[in-house]
Amino acid sequence: MSDSVKLTYQNKTFEFPIVEGSENEKGIDIKTLRAQTGLITFDPGFKNTGSCNSGITFLNGEEGILRYRGYSIEELCEKASFIEVAFLLIFGELPTEKELALFNNEIREDSLVDEDLKSILKSFPKAAHPMGVLSSLTSGLIAFNPNSVDVESEAEMREAIIMLIAKFPILASWTHRKVKGLPLNYANTALSYVENVAHMMFKLPHQDFKPSPVLVGALNKLLILHADHEQNCSTSTVRIVGSSQAGLFASVSAGVSALWGPLHGGANQAVIEMLESIQADGGDTKKYMAKAKDKNDPFRLMGFGHRVYKNFDPRARIIKKAADEVLQELGINDPVLEIAKSLEQEALRDPYFIDRKLYPNVDFYSGIIYRALGIPTEMFTVMFALGRLPGWIAQWLEMRKNNEPIGRPRQIYTGKQNRSI
């Protein structure tokens, strides 16, 4: 007989089956809990709640394992391009040479947006944060491509996916060009997807631009490392918005907003801002370590800690190595980076951080690389979004194909009881 869990409540015993994943992760299937017992579970932040079955990404936070469709993140970073990883996440297998060529061609063909989108961009003030602008422009794509997508139609789904992968980097680069007052660039079809990310952001009208191999290599790794991370805040947002049968673009636009927050993707920007303010305050890292540990002080060491990784963040290991290589290759000597190193060393020795299993996460080092590559701080989270796009698409598609019910948690009401005026 398969495993089950028994729950005793008001002298009655109820039985709930155990569900088991392909990597032996186990959960209690409580689908009938309320119907049987009248009880709900209470789990703020969903720390113990599995919201779906998923065959996309496997993550083991205790052992620091991250795999996309069964392939380790370490191997993918060494051997694959970002666009191959995108194909893998969305379609389930790495592409053959022919499939890859077709995929790249389709993306190139679709690398244009309606010129009228520029008027939406124009209406934002220059000081608008690029993540807010990106979320709005992604949503704006719907108005220019209003056909709803039948998820059962492979052709329609593919068309929507290609459209989004092709147009999203254009919109992302425009958020940067807008802040800088630069003319808006389009992709150069002679370049690869990752080269085009750099091209569209940095190419100036009066100068040649050839993305350096260091820049492209680092970007490729960073985008792959951010490509999916199972049911994180932004991905859960994409799935829950999509569960109301809202379209792909609307769901991804919501995902961009969720990613923006400093406890999620916005942490990479927050890390550099924190390091800069420590530097401006005299560079006393011990003072900031004390603040981070003081329960009366809201300050947190940005770039440390993770909901799932309680040993190390495998993405952080790869990025730390890449950061060291990039800094060495570019011969960069940055006092802010020295502060980062001191904080890292102090935190790794400190019982507060050791006891709570708080290690540097992906955002601690990604901000450092982006800064070294000359990417402006306010664009860091946009770079994260560019990487996360295939994950959002894959998770949205899986959710729709599995016909998941609309996401709608319950609550424990703690407000006033019935009363009259």
The residues annotated as belonging to the active site are: 306, 363
Binding of residue 306 to ligand CMC (CB under 6 A): yes
Binding of residue 178 to ligand CMC (CB under 6 A): no
Binding of residue 303 to ligand CMC (CB under 6 A): yes
Provide, rounded to whole angstroms, the least separation between the CB of residue 27 and ligand CMC: 19
- Please spell the DSSP secondary structure of 27-88, one letter per residue: EE--TTHHHHHS-----GGGTT------SSEEEETTTTEEEETTEEHHHHHHH--HHHHHHH
Provide, rounded to whole angstroms, the least separation between the CB of residue 240 and ligand CMC: 17
Nearer to ligand CMC, 238 or 267 (CB): 267
Binding of residue 315 to ligand CMC (CB under 6 A): no
% helix / strand / coil in the chain, to the nearest 5? 55, 5, 40
Provide, rounded to whole angstroms, the least separation between the CB of residue 16 and ligand CMC: 26
Can you tell me which of 163, 254, 289, 362 binds ligand CMC, judged by CB under 6 A? 362
Provide, rounded to whole angstroms, the least separation between the CB of residue 278 and ligand CMC: 14
The position carrying tokens 């970002």 is 82
Nearer to ligand CMC, 196 or 361 (CB): 361
314-330 and 213-225 helices cross at what angle (nearest 10)? Answer: 170
Nearer to ligand CMC, 229 or 320 (CB): 229
Distances (CA, A) of 8 to 26, 36, 84, 292: 21, 12, 50, 42
Q: How many residues belong to the site for ligand CMC (CB under 6 A)?
A: 21
User: What residues have CB less than 8 Å from 137, skipping those under 6 apart?
Assistant: 117, 120, 121, 171, 174, 175
Name the segment binding ligand CMC (CB under 6 A); options: 1-9, 128-136, 214-222, 356-364.
356-364
Contact 380, 268 (CB under 8 A): yes
Provide, rounded to whole angstroms, the least separation between the CB of residue 296 and ligand CMC: 12
Contact 320, 222 (CB under 8 A): no
Binding of residue 265 to ligand CMC (CB under 6 A): yes
Task: Please choose, from the candidates 321, 317, 327, the residue with its C-alpha nearest in 3D space to the C-alpha of residue 374.
Answer: 327
Per CB under 6 A, contacts with ligand CMC among 100-129 are none
- Which positions lie near ligand CMC, rule CB under 6 A? 45, 229, 232, 263-265, 267, 292, 300-307, 356, 358, 361-363
